[in-house]
Structure 1
Amino acid sequence: MGTISNALGLLDHFSESQPEIGLADLRKLSGHDKATTYRYLTELVAFGMLEQDPGSKRYRLGPAVLRLANIRESVFPLRSAIQAITDRLSEATSETAHISLLQGLVLSPLAKKESPRHAARVSLSLSEMLPLHATASGLAIIAFSREDLLERAIKSPLKKYTAFTTTDAERLRADIAKTVARGFGMSDQGYEEEVFGIAVPFFDQAGHATGTAAVASPTSRMSDELAAIIKRALIVAARAITETRGGTIPEHLEEAWRRSGF
């Protein structure tokens, strides 16, 4: 990775649960030495991507992040349309729905709607980065992206999140092959225990898979009947999001859905 990539990579460590981070912790999280980490932080502060609390000396996201996000949403409005689709997906399935965008080798949640009906439901933070190898969304995006995404994912560390996480490269290839055949990414407790996820990709006008629509349910509630309801609703959502992005669903994915009975 280059200098710019390494510097910007520090931003990925900030989240709702960790909004401020000190130099020592950022050094450990990033794996860089102290001098290098400090140099990156100084540059990010200079450009407004980060700011430093004068009292605690800890770093937090800066005003430039908000300015750029506002520009992106103003010029290419996406969030409001995606949120409406997410809400409908959650209502149709009575489960937690979320939409994520591909960002390097992770998925970044853009919108979510937790189950409107059940007290026992899956929760998700919008600041949470979703790994490709351990989630239904990750399997879906790899399966219908260019082959190099799978190879890059396999070369990266396959972290074990639960006892059910796939960390073997050949098993991951097999999981992707199944996803291609059925048209749905499916993960049974791969990222979080007692959570079952189902996901599908959506596409831009160039035909690239750029993100996923997903539904997560407690494993105790998952059944063949619920899975069928979720899959039908996901297809509707994927088509709607793809349309908002000026794209079309590839015929090979439509065919996979038909083979799966949808």
Structure 2
Amino acid sequence: MPSTELGERDSRGSLGTVRNAVTLLELLGEGPAYQHLTDLAERSGMSVPTVHRLLRSLVLADLVEQDPRSSRYSLGPELVRLSQRYLARLPILGALAPFLSQLRDLVRSTIVVQTLVRSAVVTIDRVDGPDAGLYREAHAVPDALTTATGRLLGARASDDEWKAILESCSAEQRAVAEASRNEWAAAPWLVVEGQTFGPPSHVAVPLVDGQGGILGALVATVPPGTSPEEIEAVAGHLIRAGAAAVRTVGHA
């Protein structure tokens, strides 16, 4: 066999291995914290030996950890280090840093920076305000369309990304989203009502650069039942701070 054909075959095989490993990491990020080998094989559609071999490699890299008592698998600590390295290189976080505490003191509420990763919203920075009580969502990864951030950023995403978001939500959420996409994409800010004994209301503004690139969203929590006038005032503060941070990124 010519060396070029052998190289192409090895490349395709390596790509498949990486894709399968990513699939396992995604499955480990869903459902219970620790999962059984056979369950992962069934959900992934891969054979048990294949899944076992991939998991062993991921464990050696600390991307996955195995509980010595139950032999079940979970996401590993190396993912935390990699995510922190990634966040440290995001220019928008550095640009927003001087504003977060000022915003917190100005609106007297928790200020959050979020981004959209596929069909989920991820918090990448947070400054707690006086409203931060027993209910905290520091590590929550909510579905996109349940949040103001997800609606703002998802509606501005590409058609393929929007389609993936719709496929991950309920039929009821999908119907509302399809009817509201243009409105959400044009909105300077959005609010999603919270619950008295659950997640608070969130006001979010998109962070969009001069070329239309999505940098994330700046979010403030507000108590359920906050008046429209107060919400609009909070949104105004977020918009001004976000615009200043985006200008800083543009000048960097």
Say yes or no: does 1:124 pair with 2:137. Answer: yes
Structure with more helix by fraction: 2
Matched, 1:158 2:169: yes
What is the deviation of 1:23?
2.1
Where structure 1 has 5 or more consecutive residues not aligned to the other structure, the ranges are: 160-165, 249-262
2:227 pairs with 1:213: no
Q: Does 1:134 align with 2:138?
A: no
* Compared CA separation, residues 40 and 136, structure 1 to 2 (3 A): farther
8 Å Cα contact 2:193/2:202 also seen in 1:
yes
Query: Once the two structures are superposed, what CA deviation does each residue of 1:77-131 show, in whole Å capped at 9, x if it has no partner?
Result: 7656545433333222212221112212212111122322x47686322x21132
* CA–CA separation in structure 2 for the residues paired with 1:240 and 1:67: 29
Q: Distance in 1 between matches of 2:136 and 2:145?
A: 20
| DSSP 3-state at the match of 1:183 | coil
Q: Which residue of 2 aligns with 1:145?
A: 157
How far, CA to CA, are the matches of 2:34 and 2:79 in structure 1?
16
Map 1:2-151 onto structure 2 (within 5 A). Answer: 2-13=19-30, 20-23=33-36, 27=40, 31-32=43-44, 35=48, 38-69=52-83, 71-72=85-86, 82-116=96-130, 118=131, 123-125=136-138, 127-151=139-163
Q: Which structure 2 residues correspond to residues 194-233 of structure 1 after superposition, within 5 A?
A: 195-203=200-208, 207-220=212-225, 222-233=226-237
Structure 2: which amino acid aligns with 1:198? V
Aligned partners of 1:204 and 1:242 also within 8 Å: yes
How far did residue 235 of structure 1 move? 0.5
| Alignment coverage as a number of residue pairs | 232
TM-score by length of 2: 0.72
Query: How far, CA to CA, are the matches of 1:106 and 1:194 in structure 2?
Result: 16
8 A contact 1:194–1:218 mirrored in 2:
no
Equivalent-residue separation in structure 2 for 1:194 and 1:65 (angstroms) = 27
Task: Out of 131-140 and 169-178, give the one that drifted further.
Answer: 169-178
Runs (5+) with no aligned partner, structure 2: 1-15
C-alpha displacement at 1:6, in angstroms?
A: 0.8
- Opposite residue 10 of structure 1, the aligned amino acid is L
Amino acid at match of 1:138: G
| 83-92 vs 30-39, greater mean Cα deviation | 30-39
Matched residue of 1:138: which SS? helix
Aligned to 1:162: none
Partner of 2:243: 239
Aligned position for 2:181: 176
Structure 2 counterpart SS, 1:111: strand
Question: Quick one: distance in 2 between partners of 1:194 and 1:151?
Answer: 26
Question: Whole-Å Cα distance in 2 between the matches of residues 120 and 67 of structure 1?
Answer: 28
Counterpart of 1:216 in 2: which secondary structure? strand
Cα distance in 2 for residues equivalent to 1:93 and 1:168: 30
Question: Relative to 1, partners in 2 of residues 1:96 and 1:176: Cα closer, same or farther, differing over 3 Å?
Answer: farther
Corresponding letter in the other structure for 1:158: C
Max radius of gyration: which structure? 2
CA distance in 2, matches of 1:171, 1:70: 35
| CA distance in 1 between partners of 2:43 and 2:26 (Å) | 11
SS in 2 for 1:7: helix
Q: Secondary structure at the match of 1:211?
A: strand
